[in-house]
Chain A
């Protein structure tokens, strides 16, 4: 069972990902966060295989969450959930995987499984 932390500013997106993950047998959500610091906190406590992170999410110090996770939880793969997928979204450049929000359920699950399964390897932008 691969373990995930889901961090997004929108509750709707967190619910969606939880529903999607709950529909599988091999993935589970071990933590949720609505802001950057809570995300880092949850990842440090739960040590998940992957963290799905809102592309525009920052910590209280302004650091992109993807960068903070790389520093503080290097064994957790970071999947950035982006709306536009360009460099304007702060976490895109620091992610292990960049996933567009409209990738569709199959694309989302494929990307999550690949990211959570070591050694994972995916193109920088999945679901396009």
Chain B
């Protein structure tokens, strides 16, 4: 894949170098026709052709290609050849450096291009028998020609880097959002599991207490049967009531075990099941962070349940029934 891309780059840039060469030859011919005849036009053409050829590697080795072009341009300027043929490859090489080289290196390259070419122009001007009155204007224009393609290339590079940075930032943001969402879901699952475990423990303890109470009541009824035969009926009734209450409590606890979110029982249980029921009411009340937000009807049921819990109709455990001085044989 990398090799294929390299070949494609070489082919495209080779074609561009050929086009540049053609343009340079045309520009040289035009320049030569309109200017003072040069001593070695063949060498000037070779220098221009070399500069054009060096742009072939402008994308693979932008700094190296630029260095070669700059050297050939300097020689060409010092030789007094028309500058237009070498200007085109220099512009391309500068744009390539700005676009493909890191900014710090491309700044150095642009500065080097200015210093080298302006120095070459100055030296070439000094070597002339008569100073060129347009020399100052030409150097100012040259400065613009050097800086403009480099600045364009560097701006394009910075824009690309900015876009890539924005892409990475967006990707990171998306990753962070996904991670946050996953953490939130895990936290919610953990809360569900904790609620389910709590309900399970409460059910376990409540059933254990009920079974123990029933067993104790039956054993005592048998124990006092000879002296208090009527107690057996009372004991049976108490055992029946306790068993029914226990079964009711287990049914009410079932939704909390199944979904963890906990439906609010319709009826307030009694005795040891009260804590379980209060827990179900708490779970059905929306929390401040909005997790497991219950439906409207569930909220209504929670509110009703709380009202019922605090109201007079609910049979909460009684407080002290007897006080000191009351005998045990009531």
Measured CB to CB, the closest approach of chain A to B175, in angstroms, equals 43
Is A28 close to B, CB under 8 A? yes
- Which residues in window 64-113 of A have CB below 8 A to B? 83-84, 100-102, 104-106, 108
| Nearest neighbor of A47 in chain B, beta-carbon distance | B324
Contacts of A35 in B (CB 8 A): 317, 319
Of B28-36, B60-68, B135-143, B213-221, which binds chain A? Answer: B213-221
Q: How many positions in chain B have a CB within 8 Å of any CB in the partner chain? A: 40
A30 engages B271 (CB within 8 Å): no
Give the segment of B161-169, B222-230, B258-266 that binds chain A: B222-230
Q: In the complex, are the beta carbons of A83 and B320 less than 8 A apart?
A: no
**In the complex, what distance in Å separates the CA atom of A27 from the CA atom of B215?**
22
Q: Number of A interface residues, CB 8 Å? A: 42
Report the minimum CB–CB distance from A51 to chain B (whole Å): 12
**Which residues of chain B have C-beta atoms less than 8 A from A38's C-beta?**
319-320
Residue A16 at the B interface, CB < 8 A?
yes
Q: Which residues of B contact A41 (CB under 8 A)?
A: 320
Q: B238 at the A/B interface (Cβ < 8 Å)?
A: yes
Cα separation A13 to B217 with both chains bound (whole Å): 7
> Given A16-B213, A22-B330, A83-B209: A32 and B322 within 8 A (CB)?
yes
Complex alpha-carbon distance, A34 and B322, angstroms: 11
Known interface pairs A4-B328, A11-B271, A12-B238; A34-B216 also in contact (CB < 8 Å): no
Min CB–CB distance A11 → chain B (angstroms): 7
- B224's closest neighbor in chain A, by CB? A23
How many angstroms from the CA of A56 to the CA of B272 in the assembled complex? 10
> Cβ of B222: which chain A residues have Cβ within 8 Å of it?
105
Chain B nearest CB: distance from A52 CB in Å? 12
A12 to B228, alpha carbons, bound, how many Å? Answer: 17
Chain B residue nearest to A23 in the complex (CB): B224
For window 6-37 of chain A, which residues contact chain B by CB distance below 8 Å? Answer: 9-13, 15-16, 18-24, 27-35
Can you give 20 A-B contacts (C-beta < 8 A)?
A: A3-B324, A12-B217, A13-B213, A20-B224, A21-B328, A22-B330, A23-B223, A23-B227, A29-B322, A29-B328, A30-B326, A30-B328, A31-B323, A32-B322, A38-B319, A46-B323, A46-B324, A56-B209, A101-B216, A102-B216
